[in-house]
Amino acid sequence: MSAWPKILSVIGAGILACADPLAPRSAEVGEFRLRLTTSPDIVARESSTSVRLVITNTTSDVALVGSGSSCLAHIGVFRDGVRQGGFPGTDDGCFTVLTGWEVSPGDSLVSQWLVGVPSGVRAGDYVVRVTFDNTTFPTLEQRLRVR
């Protein structure tokens, strides 16, 4: 029996293990279009990336976005499904208070974070994850590669 089928099986399993599924980085929810971006998405240690969340009202009426806190969304950096501490810009100081934002037709709410990449992190793939207190909106994720 040849060793090739075993080698190919191991390579295939390795590729599948590296291709962990991400939550979407954009979504359509009711009257809103949500989009998450990072720029740049490949960064060096001791640098930063700008993370931008845009929620656009796609209707011809004023729409309301509600939250159970004073923050529109919460951001975190994850590796292998575990939240990573020490990334400046990912700690939020939100108050527990019902908050609402009116969004005019065609307008957008924009949240932007400057996320620092500390010198001590390992190189590799991370996930920037944005979650909402508003349970109507899905979790959004964007891959971030640290060199």
- Condensed to tens digits (0 to 9), the pLDDT of residues 42-74 reads 999 999 999 999 999 999 999 999 888 888 899
Distance CA 71, CA 51 (A): 15
Residue with the bigger pLDDT between 120 and 11: it is: 120
Among residues of the chain, what percentage have pLDDT more than 90? 60
Half-sphere exposure of 65 (CA within 13 A, CB side): 27
Other residues' Cβ atoms within 10 Å of the Cβ of residue 36:
23
Q: Is the pLDDT of residue 131 over 60?
A: yes
**Model confidence over 87-105: pLDDT tens digits?**
998 877 888 889 999 999 9
- Tell me the whole-structure pTM to 2 decimals: 0.79
Q: Is the pLDDT of residue 13 over 70?
A: no
Distance CA 125, CA 86 (A): 16
Distance CA 83, CA 51 (A): 17
